[in-house]
Amino acid sequence: MDRETRALAEKHFRGLGARLPDGVCGPPGRVDFIEKPDAFSYADFFKGYLLPNVPCVFSSAFTEGWGSRKHWVTPDGKPDLDYLLRKRHGCTCCQLRSAGIQRQPQGAHAPQRVHQLLERVHPGKLFLSQGLPLPQRLAPVQPMCGSLHRDTSVEDVYSLPVYFSSDWLNEYWDAINVDDYRFIYMGPTGTWSPFHADIFRSFSWSVNICGRKKWLLFPPGQEEALRDCHGSLPYDVTSPTLLDVRLHPACARCSPPLEVTQEAGEMLFVPSGWHHQVHNLVIMKSCTGINYKEFYHFLKVIAERRILTLAKEMGAGTVGSVGDSRLGTQQAAFDVSRITEVLASLVANRDFQRVDTSTFSLQPEELLQQLEEVVTATAAL
């Protein structure tokens, strides 16, 4: 930390004590995305996010060199369970905190090797978090959570990002050599971690080794409005029971959470006191068996066939042999409008934007424009 940052931080905390009650911070409308490691200093993070206590997402460029990202993931983006099993992950000991299958009382977790944990997990996702354990309330929907003890004899699993280098909790636990707050979560699509805030109001950070997660983030204090009539916090903030005003009388006062979709390799900063709920999403490649390039090609083929069908039906002249007129005009027009929407979101997708499209016979933006023109032309059909 430089002098100026320290002076600002100290002033901030003196001012905060005097002006702002504990936990009040103006929630931002969206979460910033930090693209380039070179252009983002410790002071930038400290002043822009840590002090104001607001979340941010770091691009996958920040974790590019990590051994876990290189070795634990298959080329098509799935967890490489064979590798992890084969490796037995050296002597790395992994304590299973929670398993989706059964309840384990607090403190009664037998340490397990990583491979023992892997043998119990479905091919799914792998995430690495530093900061907190989850509450020990378990449901069949939760991902597994293991605590990874670093062992210098094994591959370099991760390197601590400079932004989180002053981590009192882990420093303390390391110093007394008892335990730590470094966790690996693993779970297939559909598993989720219940609503909670991290231990001792700590901040935390979390990286997806592979897979995608959806985070629902509530600024400090918002959780008060979510309490039920007995004063308890909800287990699942997406449950329809929250809409029942008799059960959750103050719920209407709670603003919607900040929603973050965290992609593979990206790192999320979860500030202190922010409650959150985390859902494991589909791995695009593993779910559909195709990657972005193939998915674009798939959309393009169907789009061209539907456009041909419409051209034929509307007597526009150029009739190809591939258009299937049995579909009918309405179905073709409907499909075109759906494809347009899907393609628009694909074109806006950050991962897709990184795909090299120079060899594509038709650029995605051009196809999108053509589709939009067809949608306009066929709207009144």
Ligand X SMILES: O=C(O)CCC(=O)C(=O)O
Interface residues with Fe ion (CB under 5 A) are: 198
The window from 60-68, 129-137, 244-252, 333-341 that contacts ligand X (CB under 6 A) reads 129-137
Tell how strand 32-34 and strand 56-58 pair up.
Answer: parallel
Site string (153-192) toward ligand X, x via CB under 6 A: --------------------------------x-------
The string over 203-235, giving b where at least 16 C-beta atoms fall within 10 Å of a residue's C-beta and e elsewhere, is: bbbbbbbbbbbebbbbbbbbbeebbbeeeeebe
The string over 289-306, giving b where at least 16 C-beta atoms fall within 10 Å of a residue's C-beta and e elsewhere, is: eebbeebbeebbeebbbb
State the nearest-atom distance from the C-beta of 371 to ligand X, in Å. Answer: 37
Residue keyed to tokens 């702002």: 20
Applying CB under 6 A, does 138 fall inside the site for ligand X?
no
Q: How far is residue 93's CA from residue 150's CA, in Å, rounded to a whole number?
A: 8
Q: How far is residue 105's CA from residue 210's CA, in Å, rounded to a whole number?
A: 29
Applying CB under 6 A, does 127 fall inside the site for ligand X?
yes
Both tokens of 81, joined, read 């369970």
State the nearest-atom distance from the C-beta of 49 to Fe ion, in Å. Answer: 17
In this chain, which of 60, 63, 68, 129 binds ligand X, going by CB under 6 A?
129
Applying CB under 6 A, does 63 fall inside the site for ligand X?
no
194 binds, among Fe ion, ligand X, none (CB under 5 to 8 A by kind): none
State the nearest-atom distance from the C-beta of 109 to Fe ion, in Å. Answer: 18
- Count of residues touching ligand X (by CB under 6 A): 15
Both tokens of 2, joined, read 């430089």
129 binds, among ligand X, Fe ion, none (CB under 5 to 8 A by kind): ligand X
Q: How far is residue 128's CA from residue 186's CA, in Å, rounded to a whole number?
A: 9
Cβ–Cβ < 8 Å for 197, 233: no
State the nearest-atom distance from the C-beta of 268 to Fe ion, in Å. Answer: 10
Query: Which residues in 207-246 contact ligand X (CB under 6 A)?
Result: 213
Applying CB under 6 A, does 258 fall inside the site for ligand X?
no
State the nearest-atom distance from the C-beta of 226 to ligand X, in Å. Answer: 17
Closest to Fe ion by CB, 201 vs 253, is: 201
Closest to ligand X by CB, 79 vs 143, is: 143
Kindly list the distances between the CA atom of residue 156 and the CA atoms of 48, 98, 150, 198, 308, in Å, as whole numbers in the listed order: 29, 25, 9, 26, 54
Both tokens of 187, joined, read 């779970």
Closest to ligand X by CB, 269 vs 295, is: 269
Closest to ligand X by CB, 5 vs 142, is: 142
Tell how strand 111-113 and strand 93-98 pair up.
Answer: antiparallel
State the nearest-atom distance from the C-beta of 282 to ligand X, in Å. Answer: 15
Dihedral pair phi/psi, residue 357, rounded to 5°: -105, 10
Q: Extract long-range pairs of 377-381: CB within 8 Å, 24+ residues apart.
A: 378/310, 378/314, 378/329, 378/333, 378/336, 381/314, 381/329, 381/330, 381/333
In this chain, which of 98, 193, 286, 378 binds ligand X, going by CB under 6 A?
193
Applying CB under 6 A, does 79 fall inside the site for ligand X?
no
State the nearest-atom distance from the C-beta of 204 to Fe ion, in Å. Answer: 6
Kindly list the distances between the CA atom of residue 266 and the CA atoms of 20, 211, 254, 257, 272, in Å, as whole numbers in the listed order: 32, 10, 28, 20, 19
Applying CB under 6 A, does 206 fall inside the site for ligand X?
yes
Give the list of residues 6+ apart from residue 177 with CB closer than 8 angstroms, or none.
Answer: none
Site string (276-315) toward ligand X, x via CB under 6 A: x-x-------------------------------------
Applying CB under 6 A, does 143 fall inside the site for ligand X?
yes
Both tokens of 177, joined, read 């050599």
State the nearest-atom distance from the C-beta of 182 to Fe ion, in Å. Answer: 13
In this chain, which of 267, 270, 284, 336 binds ligand X, going by CB under 6 A?
270
Cβ–Cβ < 8 Å for 291, 76: yes
In this chain, which of 57, 84, 114, 132 binds ligand X, going by CB under 6 A?
132
In this chain, which of 77, 79, 131, 219 binds ligand X, going by CB under 6 A?
131
Q: How far is residue 156's CA from residue 66's CA, in Å, rounded to a whole number?
A: 7
* Contacting positions for ligand X (CB under 6 A): 127, 129, 131-132, 134, 143, 185, 193, 198, 204, 206, 213, 270, 276, 278
